[in-house]
Amino acid sequence: MPGTKELKRTLSATLREGLLSHAVLIEGEKGTGRKNLAIWLAKAILCKSENRPCGSCSVCRKIENNNHPDVEIFGGGGGARSFHIDEVREIKESIWLAPNESEQKVYILLDVENMTPEAQNALLKSLEEPPAHARFILTCENRRSLLDTIISRSTVYTLEPPTREECSAALRENFPELSEKDAEIFSIAYGGNFGAASKGFSEGTGEIVFLAAKTPELLKKGESYVLAAELSAKCKTRADFSEFLERLLNITGRCGIDRAAGKTTPVRVTPTEAVKTSEIIERGKLAVLQNCSLELIESWLSMELSRVFGGNL
Ligand SMILES: [Zn+2]
């Protein structure tokens, strides 16, 4: 996962010096690798090898397979307010019991912004005065959605999203079938979010992404009918079409901005075209919500967009 390397170095050094706080809060956007980093840190805390975490000893493997008796993972399963006080009560009951196999116990609490305020309040005491053998690793998207008292009892580490170049490089490493240009397009289409981009690619959004990337060119050639036909072939559901709109929005937006800054872009879009496109996409999104026929929206979109790009040969 790109973007986590730097933080892993920092955490390793802090741990080696014995300075790692008993409560660590990892903050980062979705797709930046918060959960992976939390699990990596749990391994680093409990692994006995010289280069911690080694990733291959029985401790590391058990943590990787989520069957280490001293590592417990809570949360991460749902939306807002899905993380209940019952789970915190469970933690409070088990935290004073001695570890089973290791010298320490690690509690990983994912997406703590989904904790109800009661659950956050119930957690405070354990965060403040845990037994010496207990450690907490919390993850969240944005610390501002948490109680101040939770933040003040933790050391916050922020995962920066990878740059677009890092995202493209990581995509090519994971999916060698992607050409350099296609990896760049994918990275732009998902706003440089490696997690989302690789999930999209694995789930087969490639055709939709590449159709979005070639949309400006098709329209400049006056081929709006080709676009309409490809849309109806590749976006058979509202979800597919919404995906197309999101990727087109990212691609035209980013390329328009980069173009304005004098950079070369994989898709040729002027800043004005990007603005007009985003207005049309917003209307398209509304139309999708309003239950209009998908076929009609798709041909409407091709027409509207051809006015933006038409004649710009
Ligand atoms: Zn190990």
* pLDDT score, position 58: 97
Residue 107 sits in the same domain as residue 220: no
How many angstroms is it from 263 CA to the middle of ligand 1? 45
How many angstroms is it from 133 CA to the middle of ligand 1? 19
Say if residue 215's pLDDT is above 50.
yes
Residue 146 sits in the same domain as residue 278: no
How many angstroms is it from 20 CA to the middle of ligand 1? 18
Residues 32/53, Cβ–Cβ less than 8 Å:
no
Per-residue pLDDT of 113-159, as tens digits, reads 999 999 999 999 899 989 999 999 999 999 999 999 999 999 999 99
**Ligand 1 ion local residues (Cβ < 5 A):** 47, 49, 53-54, 57, 60
Domain count for the chain, please give it: 2
Does any domain span residue 167? no
Does any domain span residue 109? yes
Does any domain span residue 180? no
* pLDDT score, position 163: 83
CATH, residue 73: 3.40.50.300
How many angstroms is it from 15 CA to the middle of ligand 1? 15
How many angstroms is it from 158 CA to the middle of ligand 1? 25
Residue 95 sits in the same domain as residue 229: no
Residue 228 sits in the same domain as residue 301: yes
Residue 34 sits in the same domain as residue 143: yes
Residue 37 sits in the same domain as residue 135: yes
How many angstroms is it from 48 CA to the middle of ligand 1? 6
Encode 49-73: b = buried (16+ Cβ within 10 Å), e = exposed: eeebbeeebebbebbbeeebebbbb
Residue 135 sits in the same domain as residue 224: no
Neighbouring C-alpha atoms within 13 Å toward the C-beta of 175: 23
Residues 57/172, Cβ–Cβ less than 8 Å:
no
Residues 200/175, Cβ–Cβ less than 8 Å:
no
Residues 215/248, Cβ–Cβ less than 8 Å:
yes
What value does the mean pLDDT take over residues 221-248? 95
* pLDDT score, position 1: 64
Per-residue pLDDT of 12-67, as tens digits, reads 999 999 999 999 999 998 878 899 999 999 999 999 999 999 999 999 999 999 99
Locate 135 and state its tokens: 């450690």
Locate 45 and state its tokens: 């805390």
How many angstroms is it from 45 CA to the middle of ligand 1? 9
Per-residue pLDDT of 74-99, as tens digits, reads 999 888 889 999 999 999 999 999 99
Least confident among 130-134, 218-222, 288-292: 288-292
Residue 95 sits in the same domain as residue 217: no
Last residue of a domain, one of 96, 125, 158: 158
How many angstroms is it from 287 CA to the middle of ligand 1? 53
* pLDDT score, position 2: 63
Residue 105 sits in the same domain as residue 16: yes
Residue 129 sits in the same domain as residue 227: no
Last residue of a domain, one of 123, 158, 193: 158
* pLDDT score, position 274: 96
How many angstroms is it from 34 CA to the middle of ligand 1? 20
Question: In which domain, by residue range, is 120 found?
Answer: 5-158
How many angstroms is it from 295 CA to the middle of ligand 1? 55
Does any domain span residue 188? no
**Residue 215 class from Cβ within 10 Å (0-12 exposed, 13-18 middle, 19+ buried)?**
buried
Nearest-angstrom CA–CA distance, 307 and 194:
33
- Residue carrying structure tokens 């139309």: 287
Residue 147 sits in the same domain as residue 225: no
Q: Among residues 103, 312, 83, 104, which one has the least CA distance to residue 220?
A: 312
Nearest-angstrom CA–CA distance, 136 and 261:
44
How many angstroms is it from 289 CA to the middle of ligand 1? 50
Confidence at 312, pLDDT banded by 50, 70, 90: very low
Confidence at 311, pLDDT banded by 50, 70, 90: low
Pairing of strands 155-158, 134-140: unpaired
DSSP 302: H
Where are the extended beta strands (E) located within the chain? 23-27, 71-75, 105-110, 134-140, 155-158
Residue 142 sits in the same domain as residue 23: yes
How many angstroms is it from 64 CA to the middle of ligand 1? 10
Does any domain span residue 275? yes
How many angstroms is it from 53 CA to the middle of ligand 1? 5
How many angstroms is it from 56 CA to the middle of ligand 1? 5
Q: Among residues 71, 67, 83, which one has the least CA distance to residue 116?
A: 83
Does any domain span residue 124? yes
Q: What's the mean pLDDT when you consider all of the chain? A: 93
* pLDDT score, position 313: 40
Cis peptide before 271 (omega within 30 of 0): no
Does any domain span residue 33? yes
Residues 257/238, Cβ–Cβ less than 8 Å:
no
How many angstroms is it from 197 CA to the middle of ligand 1? 30
